[in-house]
Amino acid sequence: MLYTTMAALAAALLVFTWLGLRARLADGGLDDYVTARNTQGARALGLSFLASGMGGWILFAPPEVGAMVGPMALAGYALGAALPFLVFAFCGPAIRRLLPEGRSIGEFAQTCYGRGVRHYVSLISVLYMLCFLTAELTAIGAITSLLSDLNGNLVVLGVAITTLIYTAWGGLRASIVTDQWQAFLLIALLAIVGFVGLQQLPDVTTARLPDVPTTSALSVALTLVIAVTAANLFHQGYWQRLWSARDTATLSRGALLGGITTIVVVAVVGGLGIMAALSGASLGNPPKPFFAMLSEAPAWLTIPALILAITLVASSVDTLQNALASLAVTEKQGLSINSARWFTVVLMIPVVVVALQGISVLRLFLIADLLCATAVIPVLLGLWQKMTTTAAILGGLAGLLGAILPGWIAGGSMVAGLEAASFPGSIPTLMPFVGALMGSGLTSVAIALTRPRRQARS
């Protein structure tokens, strides 16, 4: 069984590599490498948004949230995962009109506010994507160890190297083409694994979900909506896809398709966790409802479950790799395609080293999410004609203050506020995110309304 599993996983990675290498445009230049400008249809975009937004995280977080907190929190998770695509569906056309030759979130920030804000926004984007990338590779190592006797580190290296090969060579086109096949594959495999796994659960009708107060469930739901939405709006991989659409109508349809399918997939995976909890099956400690569902499943189900995990992780990792390369290209003028490729390779080395340690990066992830929440409203308000550079900068600073203010008030000191905003115990809490959004949003709007709009600096 071990060799069969190894062969199946290797075959999946080789197929992804072949698809990605075939997608390369032979005479494509640097712009095509990072944007595939005006080439993608709505279905391609929708499936790409779905696949690139998914990852190994959906096998852990939504089932646990559904099983331990309930359907309301799960709904918040599903909405938070999809909301960035819905934002792009409605705001994306305006962004394209403002910046028709754009390539990154940093260029958008510079057009609206100047170079200083651009560098800050790009830094937040890179930090968030590095956390995401490390977490995904760490997850595939953990999943492999949970489901098989394979060394998880080998799979971490396999995913990192194969995705790096086809994204470094083929650019965004390679990522989008593989995303489409990976989207179909993950839906099919999820259906198979979920259906067979549910059949193995004990038939216990007296089990109940934990009795979580409605206010607590709502708090978790709002936290997830804010954190996931704010962070994903700084995902450069999604911004690249704004300019890859054939036109603005195609972008809107594709983003809506990606958002709707994301809600469905996250809800289904989370629902499997709820079903596992209701069956009375042991969920483990810490709880892993999805994998608890598979503990009594037939041995052959290990292979499709692992291919599902590799598909989820590869689809997000290749997007992140190409997104980092595109940010490097746009931040440093004159950088060649080959330089962008080597930049991605070099950046992957520390990411893989950290992932091989199996260390949880959840706390770092939450801090990156909070940083995104402090700046997301000022960035998007760049589409508002009254918005100014001063309002954006002061709004971002107010967001940072708002993030630590709840803990400062509760703990009586600035140190207590900083500690609360760093999420001790890696537990997400609502108030730092609410403070960040309210502080940045209200300050930005108030200052913008009192000052004339100024031209952005180059």
Separation in Å, CA 158 to CA 140, 161, 166: 10, 5, 13
Single-letter amino acid, residue 136? E
Predicted pLDDT at 424: 83
| Residue 307 CB contacts under 8 Å (≥ 6 apart), including other chains | 8, 9, 12, 185, 189
Q: Which of 151-155, 217-221, 258-262, 318-322 has the lowest mean pLDDT?
A: 217-221
The set of residues, in sequence order, having a beta carbon less than 8 Å from that of 376 and lying 6+ positions away, is 229, 230, 233, 234, 437, 440
Contacts of 332 (CB under 8 A, 6+ apart): none
For the segment 189-205, the average pLDDT, to the nearest whole number, is 79
Q: Which residue has the higher pLDDT, 120 or 216?
A: 120
Q: What is the pLDDT of residue 259?
A: 94
Sort 258 into a burial class: Cβ within 10 Å, 0-12 / 13-18 / 19+: buried
- Of the candidates 100, 101, 122, 94, the residue with the CA atom closest to the CA atom of residue 110: 122
Q: What's the CA angle centered on 195, arms 209 and 73, to 5 degrees?
A: 30
Residue 386 has pLDDT above 70, yes or no: yes
pLDDT at res. 242:
93
**Residue 333 predicted with pLDDT over 90:** no
User: CA-to-CA distance for 346 and 168, rounded, in angstroms?
Assistant: 12
**Contacts with 3 (C-beta within 8 Å, 6 or more apart), sequence order:** none
Residue 402's pLDDT is 94
Distance CA 265, CA 263 (A): 6
Q: Is 1 a residue whose pLDDT tops 80?
A: no
Bridge partners (DSSP) listed for residue 245: 40
Q: What is the mean pLDDT of residues 315-341?
A: 84
Cβ-count burial of 411 within 10 angstroms (0-12 exposed, 13-18 middle, 19+ buried)? middle
Nearest to 167 by CA among 131, 133, 127: 133
Phi, psi of 163 (to 5 degrees): -65, -35
Average per-residue pLDDT for the chain: 87
Q: pLDDT exceeding 70 applies to what percent of the chain?
A: 95
Tally of CB atoms within 10 A around 62: 28
Question: Nearest-CA neighbor of 51 among 327, 312, 254, 271?
Answer: 312
Question: What is the tens place of the pLDDT at every residue in 74-89?
Answer: 888 898 889 999 999 9
**For residues 369-382, average pLDDT:** 92
What does the alpha-carbon distance between residue 3 and residue 19 come to, in Å, rounded to a whole number?
A: 24
Compute CA distances 54 → 144, 259, 423, whole Å: 18, 11, 24
Q: In the prediction, which pLDDT does 391 show?
A: 92
User: Would you state the pLDDT for residue 207?
Assistant: 60
How many beta carbons lie within 10 A of that of residue 96, not counting itself?
Answer: 18
3-state secondary structure of 292: helix
pLDDT at residue 222 is higher than 60: yes
Q: What is the pLDDT of residues 341-368, one digit of tens each?
A: 788 888 889 889 988 887 766 777 788 8
The pair of structure tokens assigned to 157 is: 């290296």
Q: Which two tokens stand for residue 24?
A: 């390369």
Output the pLDDT for position 281: 74
Q: What does pTM read for this prediction?
A: 0.89
Averaged pLDDT, 265-294: 84
Task: Indicate whether 329 pLDDT > 70.
Answer: yes
**How much is the pLDDT for 70?**
84
| pLDDT of the residue at 235 | 92
C-alpha 130/C-alpha 135 separation (Å) is: 8
Residue 192 tokens, joined: 């198979």
What is the Cα–Cα distance from 268 to 262, expressed in whole angstroms?
A: 10
Judged against a pLDDT cut of 60, whether residue 116 lies above it is answered with: yes
Look at residue 224 and give its three-state secondary structure: helix
With CA atoms as reference, report the closest residue to 312 among 120, 155, 151.
Answer: 155
d(CA 173, CA 318): 11
